[in-house]
Structure formats: structure tokens, C-alpha cells
């Protein structure tokens, strides 16, 4: 039986929130055309809303729940540390343990600095790149999201009329209130277009501080870059003395123990991590080459924060990363297989109902597109998909008790079972029949 769109307790909670919280939600990502989801509790691959409705969850906190909700491993680590102290504004041994684990797992990690959220870590990476190189220009790609702070909130999902030429897109601001000249030192390029990147380096190579990119583009579909594009970005930045930054806030530890850089076989100079590294606790990390990170070590580039290496968050990260490292051979193949089984099932169901569905991604995270395209390689391809039909599919799945990211992104956890995948596919069967 379909779930109702929202229950009376959720509606009441939303009305209460709207009186004291701007827009009724604390992040724009939680906005909804109707009443947003109000969660009462969650466990494993399931969550329950305030009206008692159960959902199979493929959002997982927008990705952090790699081990599932309320993982006993995380809960025990957090509880134990909270009893020892919550915030010190001083050093403690856990942060070195977590940093050692990061350096052991991540190809580019030689030194580490911690923050609380992904946007902070990315901001630190960009400042560090500029401080280290003495240059100002940053290259980013259409469709890539690097946080909500001013320097990078451009051309995430821009209106194509404003974005202009696909080969030389305009930098389109993502919010009112950005500085009038905020994009003066930002160049926006199409993802997966090595010729466009090479052209810019040939013209302005001595001004470019860094190229920043998602090594697997998860904020616009789930796009693995062409091998030539990723390797070419590495080669061009090295040749011209610029830095290559990978934003691994989503891909880090989710797609492999070493993140997206392990999967695509390209090692950047700097990388940022968050989400899955602490099982839902608020921690992010900036990691990179020793000589680059030493620009922070020697005080040339400032990096600070009251809650950096927060002891409780570090306890969670230590527990999660230890588990992912020690159990990698058991956890990751099973996680990929679960994801691929779900992907294959969705393809088969869509085919039976005549829905043109493209399913793409490595398995631990994947995207469903409604499109006749055989592949999606960049933001312009993504924008050409039937996003209104995808929104309708999201509504039908949600009504049936399956929670996914509205734009069609699915996150898997180690807690998802074969039975839950089968239940999900039953809901999908009914959704595609109505779509």
C-alpha cells in the first residue's frame, strides 16, 4: 500500500518549524514542495518518520551512512568519548590516530588538517592552493558542487540560457548575495572535455593556481570521467605548476578505501574528505602532498577552527576508518555487489514498462536518469534528461516507502540486505507501472 504524502504529525512539526526556522528547514537541500521528511529514528538501512512510516533509505544522510544508521560501532565510540570530554581546544591522541589512518588509506595523503564540514575543507584547499602557488585563478567544472561558500558557488546546476556556450560556459552564481566580482578569479569549464582544459592552460597557464573537480561527479548524476580527461588534468596541472584538487566529500571511503582517486587511478595534490569518513558525525579533512601542506605548517596559509578535530567526531572517524581499512576485502566487494544487483533490477523493471532508464555508477553510489541517451558525460547531458519524470519517479518511490535523493541519486550501505533490495524492487515495479 502507498504511503500518504505526509502524516498529521509531520504537518504539525513543519508548521512549528516554519515559525522559528527560516523556510522551516536548516539546509536548502531539505526543502520540499510539500511537507519535508521529519525523522523520528533510524537504524541500519531503514528510517521511521514521526508518523511511524517506515522507509528503506537510500539517502543515508546524503551519503555519510556507509555503515548504516545508528551503527553500534559509531554509537559506542561516540558515547565513550563523550564521557571523556566533548571539546578541548587542545590536542589529543585521537586526531593523530585518524590522520595516520588517512595517510595509510588515501594515495595523496601525506599530511592532514581537520575541519567540521565539507565546505570548510574545500575552502581551505582553495586558499592553500592560492597561497602555495602565489596565483589566484581556480578552474572548476559545470555541475560540480564544492560547497555553499562564496568562492565556488557557481555553475552547479545553472540555467543553460545564462550559462551560454557549452565549450566556454559563463560562471553562473548559485545565490543572491555573492560578491559582484566573486567569479573574477574563477574559470568554469565543461566536465570531461580535455581539449577545453588544455586550451585554457595554453592561454593562461601561469595564472592558474588549481583545478578542482569531483573525481566521480556525484552532484550531477554519477559520472565517472573519461580516463584521458582525468589523466590529462593531472598532466596539465603538473606541467604548468598548478595543483590538482579532488573534492572527495562524497566519493571518499564510499567507492573504495582510497576514494575516487583509487578508483580512477589518478593521484591529486590535495583532496578533501567528509561524509562517510565518520559514519554521520560532523568531520571533514583536507589532505595532500607534504610540501603543499607545509604551507600551512609554516604559518604562511591560515587554517583554524574551534571544532577542528572535535574529540567526539574523531572517535567516530577512528572507529569507522579502522573498520573500513581492516575489513576492506569483506565490505567493499559486498557493497558493490548489492548496489549492482539493485541497479540491474531497476534496469530490468524499467525495460518491462517501456521507461527509458539509464542507470550508472560504481554501485555504492549510483544515479538513475530518465533519458534516451546511452550515457551522460557532463552537466549539459544531465540537463537534457527528463528531470520532471525523475521527480515523479522519486515521488512514487517515496510514496511506496523508498527514500532516494530527489534528483535520482542512490546511496548504498553495508547494512542493506538482499531482502531489502528485493523489497525496493517490488516498490519500483509499482512505481514504473504508474510512471
Summarised one tens digit per residue, pLDDT across range 167-190 is: 999 999 999 999 999 999 999 999
| Residue 34 confidence (pLDDT) | 87
Q: Using CA of residue 121, residue 119, residue 42, residue 362, what is the dihedral sign? A: negative
| Count of CB atoms situated within 10 Å of the CB of 23 | 12
Q: Tell me which DSSP letter residue 36 carries.
A: P
Which H helix or E strand runs over 139?
A: strand 137-141
Residue 365, CA atoms < 13 Å, CB-side half-sphere:
29
Q: Which of 14, 49, 58, 145 is catalytic?
A: 145
| Residue 369 falls in the annotated catalytic set | no
The whole-angstrom separation of Cα 401 and Cα 430 is 12
**Is the Cα torsion angle 162, 168, 174, 176 positive or negative in sign?**
negative
Average pLDDT over residues 23-29: 91
Count the neighbouring beta carbons within 10 Å of the beta carbon of residue 31: 11
Rounded Cα gap, residues 164 and 161, in angstroms = 6
- What the block records as the C-alpha cell of 388 is 520532471
Query: What gap in Å lies between CA 211 and CA 204, rounded to an integer?
Result: 13
The pLDDT of residue 73? 97
Q: Count of residues for the chain? A: 435
Tally Cβ neighbours within 10 Å of residue 350: 22
Q: Residue 33: its pLDDT value, please?
A: 81
Percent share of the chain, pLDDT over 70: 99
Q: Is the pLDDT confidence value at 3 over 60?
A: no
Domain limits of the chain?
8-70+329-434, 72-326
Indicate if the pLDDT at residue 4 is higher than 90.
no
Domain 72-326 falls under CATH 3.40.640.10: yes
Rounded to whole angstroms, the Cα distance separating 417 from 141 reads 36
Residues in contact with 137: Cβ distance below 8 Å, sequence separation at least 6, in sequence order: 185, 186, 187, 204, 207, 208, 209
Strand partners, 248: 273
Active site residue 140: no
**What is the rounded CA–CA span in Å between residue 135 and residue 204?**
11
**Torsion angles phi and psi, residue 71, rounded to 5:** -55, 125
What are the angstrom distances between the C-alpha of 353 and each of 58, 89, 390, 428? Answer: 23, 58, 15, 11
- Name the packing angle between helices 328-352 and 418-434 (round to 10°): 20
DSSP element (H, E) containing 396? helix 387-399
Mean pLDDT of 32-48: 94
Catalytic residue of the set 57, 58, 154, 275:
275
SS3 54: strand
pLDDT at 2 over 60: no
Half-sphere exposure of 397 (CA within 13 A, CB side): 26
Which is catalytic among the residues 247, 269, 378, 381? 247
On whether the CB atoms of residues 69 and 43 are closer than 8 A, the answer is yes
State yes or no: is 344 an active-site residue. Answer: no
Mean pLDDT of all residues belonging to the chain? 96
Residue 29, strand partner residues: none
- How do the residues of the chain divide into helix, strand and coil, expressed in percent and rounded to 5? 45, 15, 40
180 Cβ contact list (under 8 Å, min separation 6): none
Q: Is 8-70+329-434 assigned to CATH 3.40.50.2300?
A: no
**What is the average per-residue pLDDT within 59-65?**
97
Asked whether the predicted pLDDT for residue 293 surpasses 80, the reply is: yes
CA 155 to each of CA 113, 233, 342: distance values in angstroms, whole numbers, following the listed order: 28, 19, 31
Amino acid at each position: 500500500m502507498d504511503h500518504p504524502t505526509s502524516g498529521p504529525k509531520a504537518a504539525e512539526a513543519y508548521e512549528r518549524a516554519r515559525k522559528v526556522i527560516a523556510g522551516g528547514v536548516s539546509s536548502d537541500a531539505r526543502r520540499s514542495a510539500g511537507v519535508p521528511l521529519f525523522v523520528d529514528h533510524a537504524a541500519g538501512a531503514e528510517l521511521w518518520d514521526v508518523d511511524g512510516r517506515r522507509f528503506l533509505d537510500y539517502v543515508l544522510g546524503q551519503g555519510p551512512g556507509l555503515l548504516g544508521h545508528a551503527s553500534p560501532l559509531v554509537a559506542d565510540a561516540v558515547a565513550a568519548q563523550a564521557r571523556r570530554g566533548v571539546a578541548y581546544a587542545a590536542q589529543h591522541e585521537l586526531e593523530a590516530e585518524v590522520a595516520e589512518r588517512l595517510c595509510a588509506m588515501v594515495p595523496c595523503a601525506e599530511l592532514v588538517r581537520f575541519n567540521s564540514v565539507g565546505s570548510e575543507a574545500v575552502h581551505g584547499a582553495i586558499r592553500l592552493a592560492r597561497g602555495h602557488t602565489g596565483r589566484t585563478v581556480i578552474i572548476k567544472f559545470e555541475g560540480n558542487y564544492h560547497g555553499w561558500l562564496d568562492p565556488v558557488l557557481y555553475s552547479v546546476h545553472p540555467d543553460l540560457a545564462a550559462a551560454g556556450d557549452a565549450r566556454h560556459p559563463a560562471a553562473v552564481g548559485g545565490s543572491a548575495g555573492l560578491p559582484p566580482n566573486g567569479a573574477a578569479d574563477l574559470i568554469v569549464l565543461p566536465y570531461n572535455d580535455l581539449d577545453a582544459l588544455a586550451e585554457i592552460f595554453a592561454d593562461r597557464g601561469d595564472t592558474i593556481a588549481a583545478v578542482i573537480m569531483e573525481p566521480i561527479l556525484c552532484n550531477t548524476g554519477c559520472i565517472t570521467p573519461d580516463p584521458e580527461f582525468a589523466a590529462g588534468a593531472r598532466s596539465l596541472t603538473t606541467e604548468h605548476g598548478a595543483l590538482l584538487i579532488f573534492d572527495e566529500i562524497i566519493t571518499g571511503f564510499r567507492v573504495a578505501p582510497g576514494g575516487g582517486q583509487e578508483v580512477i587511478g589518478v593521484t591529486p595534490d590535495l583532496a578533501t574528505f567528509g561524509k562517510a569518513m565518520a559514519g554521520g558525525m560532523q568531520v571533514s579533512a583536507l589532505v595532500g602532498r607534504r610540501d603543499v601542506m607545509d604551507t600551512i605548517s609554516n604559518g604562511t596559509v591560515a587554517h583554524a577552527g574551534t571544532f577542528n578535530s572535535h574529540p567526539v567526531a574523531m572517535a567516530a572517524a577512528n572507529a569507522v576508518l579502522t573498520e573500513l581499512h581492516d575489513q576492506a576485502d569483506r565490505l567493499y566487494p559486498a557493497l558493490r555487489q548489492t548496489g549492482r544487483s539493485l541497479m540491474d533490477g531497476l534496469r530490468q523493471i524499467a525495460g518491462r514498462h517501456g521507461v527509458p532508464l539509464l542507470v550508472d555508477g560504481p554501485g555504492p553510489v549510483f544515479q538513475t536518469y530518465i533519458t534516451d541517451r546511452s550515457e551522460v558525460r557532463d552537466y549539459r547531458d544531465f540537463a537534457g534528461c527528463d528531470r520532471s519524470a525523475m521527480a515523479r519517479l522519486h515521488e512514487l518511490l517515496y510514496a511506496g516507502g523508498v527514500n532516494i535523493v530527489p534528483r535520482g541519486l542512490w546511496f548504498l550501505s553495508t547494512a542493506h540486505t538482499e531482502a531489502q533490495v528485493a523489497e525496493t524492487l517490488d516498490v519500483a515495479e509499482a512505481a514504473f507501472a504508474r510512471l
